[in-house]
Structure 1
Amino acid sequence: MRKRWMFTAVGAVAGGAIAYLLKDEENRTRVADKAKSLKDNYVQKSDLPVEEAGKPEVSNLENADMVSEGSQFGVQYYNELTEKEREILEKSNS
């Protein structure tokens, strides 16, 4: 019971501190710019091995063999990830 009240109190204090710090337009734009740069860095770094999964015939013979045997997991995963990235970019451009 005490833990719940303690977490509630900490959450209320943190929420109040965030609200106080973000009341200025300059602070809000600074935080928004930082969040956007972090998101852009994450989207750029997320394409490491997934790019190969969507193009099995090009770079990895193991993937090409799996797809030729009927496995579509890598291709579906690649398509879902690129669709999510496309949606994120469209939202940020609007």
Structure 2
Amino acid sequence: MNKSPLKSYLLVGAGLTGVGLIAYNPSRNKLVSFTKGLKSRIGSFNLKKSNLPIEKAGNPDPEDIEDNKMVSEGAMYSVDYYNKKVQE
């Protein structure tokens, strides 16, 4: 069988500690407020990532040498993405 039951005991202990914290009302309130705060921080992080400058995609500026170099090397994903969005 299991030669080292330490992992099992640790998991059971962590589970019982979690249940104990949730069962005790002040700890439950702290846990709920912590998870709400964490959820709002994660949600705001995801919103920041989704606001990408889509206007530039597919419309390279002739004076933007680095962007033109990237497109000439084969990075056409942004152009294809912009074309699909415009066609929809």
Does the TM-score normalized on the shorter chain lie above 0.5? yes
What is the one-letter code of the residue matched to 1:2?
Answer: K
Q: How far apart are 1:29 and its partner, in Å? A: 1.4
1:25-78: CA deviation from partner (whole Å, max 9, x where unpaired): 1211110111011000100011233222xx73x2x3253x222454x7xxxxxx
Kindly tell me: are residues 18 and 49 of structure 1, through their superposed partners in 2, closer, same or farther at Cα, counting changes over 3 Å?
A: closer
- Please list, as runs of the form range in 1=range in 2, the aligned pairs for 1:66-85 lying within 5 A after superposition: 66-70=80-84
SS in 2 for 1:61: coil
1:28 counterpart residue number: 28
1:16 counterpart residue number: 16
Give structure 1 regions of 4+ aligned residues with deviation exceeding 4 angstroms: none
Taking structure 1 as the reference length, what is the TM-score of the superposition?
Answer: 0.54
CA distance in 2, matches of 1:30, 1:68: 45
1:45 counterpart residue number: 45
CA distance in 1, matches of 2:82, 2:40: 35
Percent of pairs with identical residues? 11
Kindly tell me: are residues 49 and 16 of structure 1, through their superposed partners in 2, closer, same or farther at Cα, counting changes over 3 Å?
A: closer
CA distance in 2, matches of 1:68, 1:23: 52
Q: Is the 8 A contact 2:21 2:27 kept in 1?
A: yes
Quote the RMSD (CA, aligned, Å).
2.3
* Count of residues paired in the alignment: 65
What is the one-letter code of the residue matched to 1:61?
Answer: A
Taking structure 2 as the reference length, what is the TM-score of the superposition?
Answer: 0.57
Kindly tell me: are residues 28 and 66 of structure 1, through their superposed partners in 2, closer, same or farther at Cα, counting changes over 3 Å?
A: same
